[in-house]
Chain A
Amino acid sequence: MALFEVSGYKKYCELREQILPAGLTHLVDRPNHYNFGTKTREFAVPPGVDPSGFLRSCSQDGGVCIEMNHGTTTLAFKFKHGVIVAVDSRASAGNYLASKDANKVIEINSYLLGTMSGSAADCQHWERLLAKECRLYRLRNNQRISVAAASKLLSNMMLGYRGMGLSMGSMICGWDKQGPGLYYVDDNGTRLSGRMFSTGCGNSYAYGVVDSGYREDMTVEEAYELGRRGIAHATHRDAYSGGVVNMYHMREDGWIKVCKDDVSELIHHYRKGMF
């Protein structure tokens, strides 16, 4: 069907598949621009299965209700000397603590970081896929991918599976030709550029602390302290956050890992000043 393909005509079922990929599987090796080749059906949904319908039935009253927990606190903010990224390290499965030492920051490359909140499996998989695409971009085009493009790739991946129960709230932070970049991407396909974001169920506590202490012209040490405080106070009040504060500083020549402080020790330290 050479003429068919060459004329660019798309069957309705093909178009529909792009929005709701619940059709027959086929590998497309053409680099598709709107999602850079992630359309290779690693996650093809088998025919007859409708994830969005299943999810709808789960959230109605009277049926079995599945609650998606987003147990985490992560925060990131831009300031004069770059971007600070701080996350907690508690992984919870309902009321059970799966890990107190989870790594919620993926180091995509030396100048790009991604944070994870929501479902650990979804975050890890999609952000590792993003890392693969970023490496391929670097090899193909001989220059590093911009933070805007990397976050766009991730949000396009999310859009491809919209409504099917993915749970991911991520911040893509980096430094590219345009300077420091910070984007918030979530499982709905939302993609926002901003100066400060916090995700996870502890985010309200973190916002309170960082909003009240933030100044554009902070020194680097002050910014580290603000990030530490934001996570520490959030873990103090939120049951689903805890463990240690993993903090990174994104600078022009790449990121550095600042610290890995235990939150209980931090709170003890702050309490001395509080009372």
Chain B
Amino acid sequence: MAARYDRAITVFSPDGHLFQVEYAQEAVKKGSTAVGIRGKDIVVLGVEKKSVAKLQEERTVRKICALDEHVCMAFAGLTADARIVINRARVECQSHRLTVEDPVTVEYITRYIATLKQRYTQSNGRRPFGISALIVGFDYDGTPRLYQTDPSGTYHAWKANAIGRSAKTVREFLEKNYTEDAIAGDNDAIKLAIKALLEVVQSGGKNIELAVIRRNQPLKILESKEIETLVAEIEKEKEEEAEKKKQKKST
């Protein structure tokens, strides 16, 4: 049945599916994991870094990109599609600054990206973008925001979310561990993001890339040394927890 309705994007199947859009969502599930956390005074994006080939320069593969000084996004899915979307979003941010004389709100640029994606699910001769995006930033009134878009063109606001491979596992971890205490301080929010990624990433801190935006400050990509330090702290905390539990059991 699916075979007859999945060639053209503009054709619904009898039971109401747009198969091309669903296949695009499958492409997203193949991409490397990205996680986003909205703290009180900080927003954090973490991605799983794919191991680079020996001769490849590491710097050219960036999955976290700034859209403007106060907004950035991470994606999961087809990197080439993401490049186009990011470029259009960057132009839109500047265009908005030119016409409205104000920086974009995170919701506005998310709506723009989602509208762009939806347009490509309803046109002849085009296929949907095969990416989901996590867009984070601060509005100019200081509120932190996290939004997620998907290939069908819908978007929602989240407190914390994950996309890509093993997104379900990470989201379950976040549902259990995202509490007001857990994100009380900036470092706590960063550690929560790292803990969430460590659930699914293979070899620890080396394969994690992290970026943060603090209120009124531009995007900062953490260096691998800082990540290693934080991972070491997390390991220590885990051991201390395990020790405490052992002692409780023995007494």
A-side interface mostly: helix
Chain B CB within 8 A of A139 CB: no
Select B99's contact among A2, A6, A141, A153, beta carbons within 8 Å: A153
Minimum CB distance partner of A156 in chain B: B99
Least Cβ–Cβ distance between B82 and chain A, in angstroms: 15
Which residues of chain B from 98 to 156 have a CB within 8 Å of any chain A CB? 98-102, 105, 108, 123-126
> In the complex, what distance in Å separates the CA atom of A61 from the CA atom of B218?
60
- Please give the residue numbers on chain A whose beta carbons come within 8 Å of chain B beta carbons, in ascending order: 2, 6, 33-36, 141, 145-146, 148-149, 152-153, 156
Given contacts A6-B84, A33-B98, A35-B99, 8 further A-B contacts (CB under 8 A): A2-B123, A6-B126, A33-B92, A33-B96, A36-B99, A141-B108, A146-B101, A149-B101
The distance from the CB of A67 to the nearest CB of chain B, in whole angstroms, is: 34
**24 A–B contact pairs at CB < 8 A?**
A2-B123, A2-B124, A2-B125, A2-B126, A6-B126, A33-B92, A33-B95, A33-B96, A33-B99, A34-B95, A145-B100, A146-B100, A146-B101, A148-B100, A148-B101, A148-B102, A149-B99, A149-B100, A149-B102, A152-B99, A152-B100, A152-B101, A153-B99, A156-B99
A36 to B123 CA separation, bound complex (whole angstroms): 22
Report the contact-size class of chain B (Cβ under 8 Å from the partner).
10 to 19
- Say yes or no: A34-B108 contact (C-beta < 8 A), given A2-B123, A2-B124: no
Which of B99, B101, B102, B124 is within 8 Å of A34, CB to CB? B99
Q: Which residues of B contact A35 (CB under 8 A)?
A: 99
Whole-angstrom CA separation of A146 from B95 in the bound complex? 16
- Cα of A156 to Cα of B95 in the assembled complex, Å: 13
Q: Which residues of B contact A153 (CB under 8 A)?
A: 99
B110 to chain A, nearest CB (A): 12
A137 nearest CB neighbor, chain B only: B100
Given A2-B124, A2-B125, check contact A146 B102 (CB 8 Å).
yes
Find the residue from B98, B100, B101 having the highest chain A CB count within 10 A. B100
**In the bound complex, CA of A33 to CA of B105 (Å):** 15
The 8 closest A-B pairs by CB, nearest first: A33-B95, A2-B125, A149-B100, A148-B101, A2-B126, A33-B99, A152-B99, A34-B99
Most A Cβ at <10 Å: residue of B92, B99, B126: B99
Contacts of A145 in B (CB 8 A): 100
Q: What is the 8 Å Cβ interface bit string for chain B, positions 74-110, against chain A (1 contact, 0 not)? A: 0000000000100000001001101111100100100
Q: Give CA–CA (A148, B101) in the complex, Å.
A: 7
Chain A proximity of B44: nearest CB distance (Å): 26
A125 vs B92: C-alpha distance in the bound complex, in angstroms? 28
- A273 to B84 CA separation, bound complex (whole angstroms): 71
Could you say which residues of chain A place their CB within 8 Å of the CB of B124? Answer: 2
Interface string of B49-91 (1 = CB under 8 A from A): 0000000000000000000000000000000000010000000
**Bound complex: CA A152 to CA B95 (Å):** 12
- A8 to chain B minimum Cβ distance, whole angstroms, is 9
What is the CB-to-nearest-CB distance from B68 to chain A, in angstroms, rounded to a whole number? 14
Chain A residues with CB under 8 A of B101: 146, 148-149, 152
